[in-house]
Amino acid sequence: MKQVFKNLYAFDDIKISKEAIYVKNGIIVDPFDIDDETEIIDCENLALVPSFVDMHVHFRDPGFTYKEDLETGSKAALSGGYTSVLLMGNTKPTVSTPEVYEDIMQRGKDLDLIDIDQVYTITKDFDGKTLDHLDSVPESVKFISDDGHGVNDDEVMYKAMLKAKDLGLTMTLHEEVDGISDIDYEIAEDAMTIRDCYYAYKLDCPTHFSHVSTKGAITAIKYFKELGAPITCEVTPHHLLLSDKEREEVKVNPPIRSEDDRKTLINMIKSGVVDAISTDHAPHSKEEKDKGAPGFIGIETAFSTCYDVLVRSGEISLNELIKIMSTNPAKLLKLNKGKLIAGYEADFTLIDLDDSFVYTEEDIVSKSKNSLMIGENLHGKIKRVYKKGILKYENN
């Protein structure tokens, strides 16, 4: 299959171009002679970017499919411009056995909508102590996480990092000291982040810090990065968007922080400390949200939110946003995508950057409707999404 994508404005982490993009069998290639078998795709002067990669989502499958499932989550991801996600393991049963892991991976592949990677739990069933299940971890696992829980026992985390390094796995960590978080969640995040930065540094264990939200935590990460620790980190759209006055109104874990924290996260994006933006897409039923369940869906509005907060505000360029929404997370997940150069997969998202729209509940593709952005005026509408050159989503 040969394709030429033309009449576009192409942006990746580095370039801005109006040149056509040539694709053969789902891979970007150097220009070739067009013949009768070549499909010409008119991009209608839209922005074409490498499709986004989300390193932190919850599709609730298996066990909680009344909130979301692999199919609805994948379709929600496509509507937000994503073709790759990393699923967290707090399902029922948890992803602590090869059987559960392989079932999720196979069903995701069978859907043929997006690329799905699945974490394995650090401790068996999130019990905070058992690591023996990692001895039978499937070879295709890339990341381990007890997301929703910090590993509170210092010795267990020390041994877990040694085991992860030996197995070639990367930790992706939810940082929260139990008990302390009920009293002071800022200290709870900072303290565990400092411990795990130090462990990662001393043990040389690749470690990724999830949904970093405080000035203290991101400053510790910056310090240990400069020492040479093999660490990376992500922030969320909602921690970049909200602060102070919304703190009591929005139930999420980690919570909405101060304006000083928010501005620090943005400055750390500008200085290159932040590696990725991830959504922590967390579907819940209305009844659960009414009872205070933490989190909300966000994969469908992540680009528009970040485009407004970071690019239209003048904080960073669109190229820099693509770097932390596409290029860097693709590299961290070891995917051959995230750049618009020959040899990379033709995963493209077409965006109308000038389209201003009010987001409504009727726009939501996810099975759950617990979005923070309902009623908000956003910019940058996702119009089409291609995976390896095949149209997977179109917004009419």
The pLDDT value given to residue 249: 74
The pLDDT value given to residue 244: 81
What are the angstrom distances between the C-alpha of 93 and each of 64, 100, 334?
Answer: 10, 7, 27
The pLDDT value given to residue 8: 98
pTM (two decimals): 0.97
The pLDDT value given to residue 247: 61
Catalytic residues, by residue number, are: 280
HEC secondary structure over the chain = CEEEEEEEEEECCCCEECCCEEEECCEEECCCCCCCCEEEEEEEEEEEEECEEEEEECCCCCCCCCCCCHHHHHHHHHHCCEEEEEECCCCCCCCCCHHHHHHHHHHHHHHCCCEEEECECCCHHHCCCCCHHHHHCCCCCCEECCCCCCCCCHHHHHHHHHHHHHHCCEEEECCCCCCHHHHCHHHHHHHHHHHHHHHHHHHCCCEEECCCCCHHHHHHHHHHHHHCCCEEEEECHHHHHCCHHHCCCCCCCCCCCCHHHHHHHHHHHHCCCCCEECCCECCCCHHHHHCCCCCCECCCCHHHHHHHHHHHCCCCCHHHHHHHHHHHHHHHCCCCCCCCCCCCECCEEEEEEEEEEECCHHHCCCCCCCECCCCCEEEEEEEEEEECCEEEEECC
The pLDDT value given to residue 1: 93
Tokens of 312: 């239209």
Contacts of residue 176, Cβ cutoff 8 Å, sequence gap at least 6: 149, 150, 185, 188, 189, 192, 253, 254
Phi, psi of 6 (to 5 degrees): -130, 175
Q: Write the pLDDT tens digit of every residue in 72-103.
A: 999 999 999 999 999 999 999 999 999 999 99
Tokens 């970071």 correspond to 310
Per-residue pLDDT of the chain (396 residues; tens, 9 = 90+): 999 999 999 999 999 999 999 999 999 999 999 999 999 999 999 999 999 999 999 999 999 999 999 999 999 999 999 999 999 999 999 999 999 999 999 999 999 999 999 999 999 999 999 999 999 999 999 999 999 999 999 999 999 999 999 999 999 999 999 999 989 999 999 999 999 999 999 999 999 999 999 999 999 999 999 999 999 999 999 999 999 866 667 899 999 999 999 999 999 999 999 999 999 999 999 999 999 999 999 999 999 999 999 999 999 999 999 999 999 999 999 999 999 999 999 999 999 999 999 999 999 999 999 999 999 999 999 999 999 999 999 998
Q: Nearest to residue 17, comparing CAs of 41, 39, 49?
A: 49
The pLDDT value given to residue 246: 63
The pLDDT value given to residue 369: 97
Q: Are the C-beta atoms of residues 59 and 367 closer than 8 Å to each other?
A: no
The pLDDT value given to residue 245: 66
Contacts of residue 76, Cβ cutoff 8 Å, sequence gap at least 6: 68, 281, 297, 299, 300, 364, 365, 366
Q: Write the pLDDT tens digit of every residue in 178-195.
A: 999 989 999 999 999 999
Instruction: Report all structural domains of the chain as residue ranges with CATH numbers, in order of start.
Output: 2-48+345-394 (2.30.40.10), 51-338 (3.20.20.140)
